Structure 1
Amino acid sequence: MTSLDTLLSNASSSLSEHEPERLGLSHGLLDTLADQLFGMLRRRNGFYAFECALHVFPTHSSQQEIGIYDWNANALWRSVYKDMADGCFFFAEDVFGGQFCFKDGKVYIFDPETGSLEYLADDIESWAKSILVDFDVLTGHPLAHQWQKQNGQLPAGKRLLPKVPFVLGGEFVLDNLYLADAVEGMKLRADIASQIRDLPDGAQIKFNVES
């Protein structure tokens, strides 16, 4: 059994009833990664795992879910990051809205608070293996579990955002988290990332704290 087999065996059912469309997945991706992503989505067209901490986007949007093509649309949120998101194809996210993406033929973690990329894996199978080995850190599962124990299941289209951004010293604790719309959360952190990028070390930035 491969790591992807194991991940899918512990994941939710498909988030879309549509058959994945191979043509759309070729846009901006190397053929090998497009093939691998298409293969995964043919088996499970979008899914949640680790108590909703990991969210893999389906190909098609619905009333509940944003599809992978719409999620990658420049006008939705990524344009706010300016060139920081250039060349990235986003396919999954952790409970805090941290993105998993393809760029230059590899899999990276995109930090929404800084716009920085961290190499994670060479392909989908290696990505799945990394997730299984270190899902507490890579998906935020412990806090997702604690939050849902108190508040119920995370709704579709929502993620847990820090009231005080992690990059500014916010703690990974329940008291520092609030439920937020995933798209609005990306836009909010894009503003923070832009300010951090343009300001010298030690400078102050401005952001709105949700209650």
Structure 2
Amino acid sequence: MEGALAKLLAAGSAALSSAVLRREALPLGAIWDELHAVLVERNGFFAFESALLFRPLGGSGSHVLDIEEWNDPGLWKSSFAGLADEITFFADDIFGGQFGIRGPSIVRFNPETGEFENFAQGFDEWATTLIADYNVLTGYPIAHNWQRIFGPLKPGTRLVPLIPFVVGGDFVIENLRAAPEVRAMRFYGGLASAVAQVPDGGELQIDIKNLGQVLDREEPSGPATNG
């Protein structure tokens, strides 16, 4: 593997899975061939001090859900009321922002609003764009500072804002909590569903306390990440 993808893999952790890859587990198409090629080279990895998670395929055994498990409709996607149904997600930023495949393209999905934008036409372009602006696109500076204070994030957790960014929450450590990733996405799904119902020019009214209760449970334990 060459170019930007090689640089990204060089910045990443060891593979998260040693599973034998099944190409037939992925749909047909050029973009899926590219995803398979990345996974053959490195079957899942963390990068930028866990700010980026690239999910494995075929199970991980490392407290990280693989691509098939993560995209199970009953896991968390249903909480988005259809907003995430046509995307297969393969990577996350530190806040649970998603990178996924929709049609022939790679998209970036904002879990707070349920909106997505076209990001790249292939994985080399995806890696090139990501590396060029990884501080913003992965949340690396906050991930670094948070872990410097609280210790390494456990696999299967992301940093979630207590006051959502979409309603004015700040990108600061004091506004962030480490939360299990599935619980975080369900939290975001409730928020995104509320955002989607606001008409153009309307005012968003949500009960942040009720949304926050989704996170107010004991978090599972797990080993520290190493990427």
TM bracket, shorter-chain basis? over 0.9
Q: For the Cα contact (< 8 Å) 2:112–2:192, is it kept in 1?
A: yes
Aligned equivalents of 1:102 and 1:9: distance in 2? 23
1:77-96 alignment runs, 5 A limit: 77-96=76-95
SS of equivalent to 2:57: coil
- The Cα of 1:77 is off from its aligned counterpart by 0.5
Asked which structure has the greater RCO (Cα within 8 Å, sep 6+), the reply is 2
Name stretches of at least 5 consecutive residues in structure 2 with no aligned partner: 217-227
Q: Percent identity?
A: 39
2:171 equivalent in structure 1: 172
Secondary structure class of the residue paired with 1:127: helix
Query: Aligned-pair RMSD on alpha carbons?
Result: 1.3
Q: Post-superposition, which runs of at least 4 consecutive aligned residues in structure 1 deviate over 2 A? A: 60-63, 207-211
Residues 201-210 or 115-124, more deviating? 201-210
Q: Does structure 2 conserve the Cα–Cα contact (< 8 Å) formed by 1:60 and 1:66?
A: no
Distance 1:161 1:181 in 2: 9
Change (3 A) 1:15 1:173: same
In the alignment, structure 1 residue 191 sits paired with structure 2 residue 185: no
Separation in structure 2 between the aligned mates of residue 45 and residue 69 of structure 1, nearest angstrom:
13
Note the alpha carbon deviations across 1:94-143, whole angstroms, 9 max, x for none: 00000001112111110000000012111111000011100000000000
Could you tell me whether the CA contact under 8 Å between 2:91 and 2:99 is conserved in 1?
yes
Q: Structure 2 counterpart of 1:11, which letter?
A: G
CA contact (8 A) 2:62 2:155 kept: no
What is the match of residue 5 of structure 2?
A: 4
Q: Which residue of 2 aligns with 1:24?
A: 25
Closer, same or farther in 2 for the Cα pair 1:203/1:129, shift >3 Å? closer
SS of the residue aligned with 1:178?
strand
Give the superposition deviation at 1:60. Answer: 2.6
Q: Provide TM-score, normalisation by structure 2.
A: 0.88
Q: Give distance in 2, aligned partners of 1:161 and 1:77.
A: 15
Give the AA of the match of 1:6: K
Deviations 1:57-78 (A, max 9, x none): 0113335110110000101001
Report if the CA contact (8 A) 2:97-2:110 is conserved. Answer: yes
Gaps of 5+ in 1: none
Check whether the contact 1:57–1:66 (CA below 8 A) recurs between aligned residues: yes
Paired position in structure 1 for 2:33: 35
* 1:37 aligned partner, one-letter code: L
